[in-house]
């Protein structure tokens, strides 16, 4: 699994409410608005859910549960774990699926950036110039593409936690709490509950696989450092766990104090954080690397697909010129799924080997990095729209 070039499976082939926050749908949450239901906005309603009880439960809150059920089903299916020839690539079906799934979700951000004219025309350099410059850099520099692979894998893990942070902040605001109340606490909760288990678990060393590739450009020191670090990695576990437990006690105490100041506990947020936090601890800390990558990437991408579709479905329908077509919304959904799936499959087939297929591998790496960046950048821009 460590031989892929980009995204959360390249070792980890991977809205807060203020413009200063990064990653995920912070801005629509920070200022709840009422729009027409077809706009795909995070509508203001009395339910406390972003979309509806069923939609939120399946695609956001209990998505980790679905991921665990799916990975256990796959783990007991011999065919899925054996290598087969799939579209000309010899690979296990489980790895092929999760890589396609992950890369497809990376591309989905395009529907919020390039396909949204209100944002695109005001930030054309960010959406055109930066990717082109980065693509050219990856084409001409082995140093840059290797560094990009390393950054992409680690950034993916941080980005994953920030998505859960953003969703939790949306629920808090929809509960009627002030946008800033508890924000810093939730941010650090996600760092401890997501990055902590990742750092002491079985998945850190595979995620640092790209470090070894520096040998290909004549730099041996990172490989030497990685070997040394691997011998003492397990010794950090006790410190990380202790720090996490201390913070959790502080976190609960701080929220108890906030309730004395008028904070209203949000059921959706609590269940979401328990669900995603448990998934992170169990997956990163205790599961074999392939299961951990599968669980975390599956539920993260499921949340993202559901969120992008809900917020951008009217824009996608407009882009496909299906506004006046009977069943246009369903056709737009099919187009959205098909487009992201095709990109995901193409990325898996042609984007894994940066030596043999430098152009396509560079494009996939740019797509991954831009996804993580845009997910912070676009939501901040989006705040000024609402």
Residue 201 DSSP class: S
Contact 55, 49 (CB under 8 A): yes
Contact 298, 67 (CB under 8 A): yes
How far apart are the C-alpha atoms of 5 and 265, rounded to whole Å?
42
Counting Cα atoms < 13 Å in the Cβ hemisphere of 298 gives 25
Question: Mean of the pLDDT values across residues 339-359?
Answer: 89
* Percentage with pLDDT > 90 across the chain: 58
The confidence score (pLDDT) of residue 92 equals 94
Residue 11 belongs to some domain of the structure: no
Residue 3 belongs to some domain of the structure: no
Q: Which among 148, 101, 98 is positioned nearest to 343, based on CA atoms?
A: 101
Q: Which among 1, 28, 177 is positioned nearest to 94, based on CA atoms?
A: 1
Q: What is the 3-state secondary structure (H, E, C) of 318-375?
A: HHCCCCCCCCHHHHHHHHHHHHHHHHHHHHHHHCCCCCCCHHHHHHHHHHHHHHHHHH
Retrieve residue 208's tokens. Answer: 């640092």
Bin 48: left if φ > 0, else alpha if -120 < ψ < 50, else beta: left
Residue 163 belongs to some domain of the structure: yes
The confidence score (pLDDT) of residue 378 equals 58
The confidence score (pLDDT) of residue 208 equals 87
Residue 4 belongs to some domain of the structure: no
The confidence score (pLDDT) of residue 132 equals 96
Question: Mean of the pLDDT values across residues 139-146?
Answer: 93
**Environment class of 36 (CB within 10 Å of its CB; exposed 0-12, middle 13-18, buried 19+):** exposed
| pLDDT beyond 80 at 379 | no
Residue 243 belongs to some domain of the structure: yes
Confidence of residue 1 (pLDDT cuts 50, 70, 90): very low
| pLDDT beyond 50 at 121 | yes
Q: Which among 169, 186, 174 is positioned nearest to 277, based on CA atoms?
A: 186
Domain count, the chain: 1
DSSP per residue over 7-58, as a string? Answer: TBTTTTB---SSTT--SSSHHHHHS-B---GGG---B--SS--SS-HHHHII
| pLDDT beyond 80 at 102 | yes
How far apart are the C-alpha atoms of 226 and 213, rounded to whole Å?
11
**Block residue for tokens 């859910």:** 49
The mean pLDDT value of the chain amounts to 84
Where in the sequence is the domain holding 305, given as residue range(s)? Answer: 26-383
Contact 98, 156 (CB under 8 A): no
Q: Which among 29, 373, 20 is positioned nearest to 184, based on CA atoms?
A: 20
3-state secondary structure of 187: helix
Question: Mean of the pLDDT values across residues 76-99?
Answer: 93
* Percentage with pLDDT > 70 across the chain: 85
Q: What crossing angle do the helices spanning 289-319 and 63-75 adopt, rounded to 10°?
A: 130
DSSP per residue over 265-296, as a string? Answer: --HHHHHHHHHHHHHHHHHHHHS-HHHHHHHH
Within the chain, how many helices (H) and strands (E) appear?
A: 19, 2
How far apart are the C-alpha atoms of 382 and 363, rounded to whole Å?
26
| pLDDT beyond 50 at 7 | no
Q: Which among 41, 46, 19, 45 is positioned nearest to 30, based on CA atoms?
A: 19
| pLDDT beyond 50 at 66 | yes
90: enclosing H helix or E strand: strand 89-91
Residue 16 belongs to some domain of the structure: no
Confidence of residue 377 (pLDDT cuts 50, 70, 90): low
The confidence score (pLDDT) of residue 43 equals 44
Residue 20 belongs to some domain of the structure: no
Contact 175, 48 (CB under 8 A): yes
Residue 47 belongs to some domain of the structure: yes
Mind listing the pLDDT tens digit for each residue in 176-223? 999 899 999 999 999 999 999 998 888 888 888 889 889 888 888 888
């Amino acid at each position: 699994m460590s031989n892929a070039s980009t995204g959360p499976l390249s070792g980890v082939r991977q809205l807060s409410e203020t413009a200063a926050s990064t990653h995920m749908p912070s801005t629509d949450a920070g200022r709840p608005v009422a729009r027409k239901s077809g706009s795909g906005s995070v509508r203001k309603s009395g339910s406390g859910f972003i979309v509806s009880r069923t939609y939120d439960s399946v695609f956001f809150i209990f998505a980790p549960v679905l991921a665990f059920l799916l990975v256990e089903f796959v783990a007991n299916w011999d065919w899925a774990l054996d290598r087969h020839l799939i579209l000309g690539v010899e690979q296990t079906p489980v790895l092929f699926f999760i890589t396609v799934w992950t890369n497809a979700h990376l591309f989905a951000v395009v529907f919020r950036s390039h396909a949204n004219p209100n944002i695109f025309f005001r930030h054309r350099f960010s959406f055109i110039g930066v990717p082109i410059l980065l693509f050219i850099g990856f084409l001409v520099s082995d140093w840059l593409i290797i560094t990009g692979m390393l950054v992409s894998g680690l950034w993916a893990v941080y980005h994953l936690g920030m998505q859960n942070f953003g969703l939790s902040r949306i629920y808090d605001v929809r509960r009627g709490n002030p946008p800033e109340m508890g924000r810093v606490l939730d941010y650090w909760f996600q760092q401890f509950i997501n990055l902590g288990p990742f750092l002491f678990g079985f998945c850190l060393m595979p995620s640092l696989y790209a470090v070894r590739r520096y040998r290909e450009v004549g730099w041996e020191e990172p490989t030497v450092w990685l070997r040394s670090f691997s011998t003492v990695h397990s010794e950090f576990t006790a410190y990380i766990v202790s720090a996490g437990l201390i913070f959790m006690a502080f976190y609960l105490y701080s929220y108890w104090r906030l309730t004395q100041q008028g904070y209203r506990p949000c059921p959706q947020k609590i269940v979401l954080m328990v669900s995603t936090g448990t998934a992170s601890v169990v997956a990163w800390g205790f599961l074999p690397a392939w299961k951990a990558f599968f669980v975390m990437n599956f539920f993260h991408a499921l949340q993202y697909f559901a969120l992008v579709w809900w917020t951008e479905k009217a824009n996608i329908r407009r882009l496909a010129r299906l506004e006046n077509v009977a069943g246009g919304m369903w056709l737009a959904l099919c187009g959205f799924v098909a487009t992201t799936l095709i990109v995901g499959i193409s990325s898996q087939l042609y984007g894994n080997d940066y030596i043999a297929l430098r152009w396509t591998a560079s494009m996939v790496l740019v797509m991954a990095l831009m996804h993580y960046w845009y997910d912070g950048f676009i939501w901040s821009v989006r705040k000024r729209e609402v």
